[in-house]
Amino acid sequence: AQSVSQHNHHVILSEAASLELGCNYSYGGTVNLFWYVQYPGQHLQLLLKYFSGDPLVKGIKGFEAEFIKSKFSFNLRKPSVQWSDTAEYFCAVIGKTSYDKVIFGPGTSLSVIP
């Protein structure tokens, strides 16, 4: 079955702390991977994506993610979080064929304390 799991439901950090959000997926076939962010009261926005090539991808606002194929993982990292990073973060996967649909993880709520 196709699925995406995220390791943490809710993470609380102090400003300047380092962040790592875990994501694992189950999917038969090659995939593209995404991290989306949803700020309070807003819609989902793309944070970064991996299609191919260098497994370490950099996104907006200092975020990066590493694709480890052998572990079916795509963890999100940021060396130093800010209060403005408080949001819900969703990992997502989609197959590379035309009719595949995006599978979202359950989301991780990040609260950054000033």
Partner 1 sequence: DAGVIQSPRHEVTEMGQEVTLRCKPISGHNSLFWYRQTMMRGLELLIYFNNNVPIDDSGMPEDRFSAKMPNASFSTLKIQPSEPRDSAVYFCASSSTGGGTEAFFGQGTRLTVV
List residues near partner 1 by CB under 8 A: 31-32, 34, 36, 42-46, 49, 51, 90, 94-104, 106-107
Q: At closest approach, how far in Å is the CB of 30 from partner 1?
A: 9
Q: Which is nearer to partner 1, 19 or 33 (CB)?
A: 33
Q: At closest approach, how far in Å is the CB of 94 from partner 1?
A: 5
Distance (Å, whole) CA 9 – CA 107: 7
Distance (Å, whole) CA 38 – CA 52: 25
Q: Which is nearer to partner 1, 75 or 108 (CB)?
A: 108
Q: Which is nearer to partner 1, 7 or 49 (CB)?
A: 49
Phi and psi at residue 80, to the nearest 5°: -150, 110
Q: At closest approach, how far in Å is the CB of 17 from partner 1?
A: 25
Q: At closest approach, how far in Å is the CB of 15 from partner 1?
A: 26
Going 11 to 13 to 15 to 21, the CA torsion angle's sign is negative
On whether the CB atoms of residues 15 and 82 are closer than 8 A, the answer is yes
Distance (Å, whole) CA 87 – CA 74: 19
Q: Which is nearer to partner 1, 63 or 90 (CB)?
A: 90
